Structure 1
Amino acid sequence: MKLFVLGASGLVGGAFAEAATRAGHHIIGTVGNFPGPVSGVDELLPLDLTDEAAVTASILQAKPAAIINAAAISEPAKCDDDLALSQKLNVALPALAARLAQQLGARFIHLSSEQVFAGDRPPYAVTDPVAPINTYARQKVDSEKLVHAAAPKLAVTVRAPLLMGNSPAGKRSLHERLLADWAASKTPILYTDEFRQTCTAQNLAAALLELCTRPEITGVFHWAGAELLSRLELGIRIRTHFRLPESTAPLKPTDRAANPKAAASRQANLALDLRPLSQLLKTPVQTFAQQLATLTVPPHLSTWLASTQQSSRA
């Protein structure tokens, strides 16, 4: 099956390409300015995703069986920094891709976010009303509405959580950012009272790939891991997994009360009810221990980590 991946050089897009290639599919992936190869992508397209004419021509020429939208500006602060760009990538792009999917009769898989909820009334079911509290979340809400209006019988939206996993550049996921901070002698500040239900990009990709072959499943769904953990606990468990001493890999606990301005645009608790998708798919929901077992060290940090681990054993 020919699959067109928007954002193939990103965390989820890269994981999806690898999983789909292992399953025997042909992958066409947009990679923007990403300089390196992307494992699993058969045809690399250095496409500007804000160029609607170029995106349209590429998708119509490819005639894929499914379009997977894994492209986004996913950091809320960056959405605020460049509202015009984030609006194009987070709202206009998925709306365009859904219209093209409808035109081609192609399956459309759209990646959304847990952040569509306010975080004050967990756990959240797919039927609960959305209440976005930052620009990124509002854009995701808008994208969901436009996608399902454009391709109601072809589209499925998956709201994903804070992601673990291994990215093509080794700089995108939670453990990669923490390791990079520690390697640079920085102390990450992590909240004790913010809770997330992480999963790996690889596990999410497996679910998205399965959805490509399940056209009877349409609408909006949730996917995440099995456990709800504080951001501080996530950091501690990642540090322990990589056998790093606290002296070398420090963490600074804080709480929302200490940062009221920041807390106003950050959700306190984004626990998700994974039904009914967890009951419909064969892809398993992973525990946090299972997620940790899949993590690798980014190549540019491997020498630092090996040296640090050796020093801690001396």
Structure 2
Amino acid sequence: MFKVAVIGASGLLGRAIAGELGRQTDWQVVPTAFRRADSHMTMLDIRDAQAVDAFIAREKPDALVISAAERRPDICENDPVLARALNVDAVRSLASAANRHGAWVLSISTDYVFDGSRPPYRHDDPPAPLNAYGHSKLNGERVLLETAERGCVLRLPLLYGPIVDWQESAVTSLVPAIAASVRGAAGATPAIMDAWAIRYPTFTPDVALVIRQMLECHARGEPVNGIVQWSGDEPMTKYDIARHLAGSLRLDAQLAPQHAPTDATPRPYNCHLDSGRLEALGIGRRTPFDEAIRQVLAMFPWVSRCGG
């Protein structure tokens, strides 16, 4: 029985990973969470190195997938201690514990390790993060690769997928403003959307399949190590994403493009990730954005919830 521990299984990506792996009848999945843990998950604070070691010693997984992290750039900018605890120190604790029990470790990173000035970025291009989030994730990559005897970093861009609230993804977080801008609605005003930074929205069920395929390589004795990347292939600004969302929701929204960066925390312009290393292994799937976002919206009825 192949056993996988999914760390952070209650989050946007973690739920997709745990769901995908749980469909493998000859695998055992052990999901953990700190917030929003349900009765099927093990409560684990990854900032507690002793708790991490006890968990790995008890479960003895063959592989460990780390999807827990602090992903909000503004929070990382304002609370670097928290960012380091989750994105760097916890990775070290998990990788060290995995070493003691011979487990392969997969850690999730971000396109924000690059400055966005010279896309597309290969996995071996030199990083140059612009903000605290990118720096913390880059440090987490280095810790993983230095600590894990068998390990891999998977860099990902902007994620979206099945949600528990609109704010869980930077894609669906646009919906309340779009709904509030509908022509003819009381008090409706145009929604101003960033039309500067280019993103590559990537569907979490596709990422979960990528991770399952990587785990299958490990189970066959052909582990993927080092750094790999996966990304959607449709370039979009937030303004573009909002237009697609409004179309899927059939809303006559008033959307206004903002052509200059306005975020207090610096964001890169275009961090398109080259996925060639995984593609060469026959790994990957890309669901078209319009098809995928319709699935997300159908699972999360917007009519009663778009304001909250």
Superposition TM-score, scaled by structure 2 size: 0.87
Partner of 1:235: 242
1:122 matched to 2:119? The reply is yes
Q: 2:212 aligns with which of 209, 226, 238?
A: 209
Instruction: Give the conservation status (yes or no) of the 8 Å contact 2:179–2:251.
Output: no
Over residues 105-140 of structure 1, what are the superposed CA-to-partner deviations in whole Å (9 max), with x where a residue is unaligned? 112111000000000111111121000110010011
Query: Counterparts in 2 of 1:167-182, with a 5 A limit?
Result: 167-168=163-164, 171-182=167-178
Superposed displacement of residue 52, structure 1: 1.4
Partner of 2:274: 273
Superposed displacement of residue 293, structure 1: 4.2
Residues 181 and 23 of structure 1, relative CA distance in 2, 3 Å threshold: farther
Partner of 1:51: 48
Partner of 1:97: 94
Amino acid at match of 1:101: A
SS at 1:95 equivalent: helix
Query: Counterparts in 2 of 1:105-184, with a 5 A limit?
Result: 105-152=102-149, 154-168=150-164, 171-182=167-178
Instruction: Give the conservation status (yes or no) of the 8 Å contact 1:14–1:168.
Output: no
SS at 1:108 equivalent: strand
Residues 146 and 304 of structure 1, relative CA distance in 2, 3 Å threshold: closer
Amino acid at match of 2:142: K
Query: Counterparts in 2 of 1:18-57, with a 5 A limit?
Result: 18-24=19-25, 25-34=27-36, 36=38, 43-57=40-54
Superposed displacement of residue 269, structure 1: 0.8
Partner of 2:231: 224
Residues 271 and 299 of structure 1, relative CA distance in 2, 3 Å threshold: closer
Structure 1: where are the runs of 5+ without partners?
38-42, 306-314
Superposed displacement of residue 197, structure 1: 1.3
Residues 297 and 151 of structure 1, relative CA distance in 2, 3 Å threshold: same
Matches of 2:245 and 2:208, distance apart in 1: 21
Query: Counterparts in 2 of 1:45-84, with a 5 A limit?
Result: 45-84=42-81
Matches of 1:298 and 1:285, distance apart in 2: 20
Superposed displacement of residue 300, structure 1: 6.8
Instruction: Give the conservation status (yes or no) of the 8 Å contact 1:163–1:201.
Output: yes
Superposed displacement of residue 194, structure 1: 0.7
Matches of 1:190 and 1:75, distance apart in 2: 19
Instruction: Give the conservation status (yes or no) of the 8 Å contact 1:30–1:47.
Output: yes
Superposed displacement of residue 26, structure 1: 2.1
Matches of 1:3 and 1:221, distance apart in 2: 20
Residues 103 and 36 of structure 1, relative CA distance in 2, 3 Å threshold: closer
Q: 2:258 aligns with which of 254, 257, 267?
A: 254
Superposed displacement of residue 256, structure 1: 2.3
Alignment length, in residue pairs? 294
Worse overlay, 134-143 or 159-168: 159-168
Residues 132 and 4 of structure 1, relative CA distance in 2, 3 Å threshold: same
Instruction: Give the conservation status (yes or no) of the 8 Å contact 1:5–1:68.
Output: yes
SS at 2:276 equivalent: coil
Matches of 1:16 and 1:23, distance apart in 2: 12
Between the aligned residues of both structures, percent identity stands at 28
SS at 1:225 equivalent: coil
Superposed displacement of residue 239, structure 1: 1.5
Instruction: Give the conservation status (yes or no) of the 8 Å contact 1:76–1:135.
Output: yes
Superposed displacement of residue 217, structure 1: 1.4
SS at 1:4 equivalent: strand
Partner of 2:186: none
Amino acid at match of 1:19: E
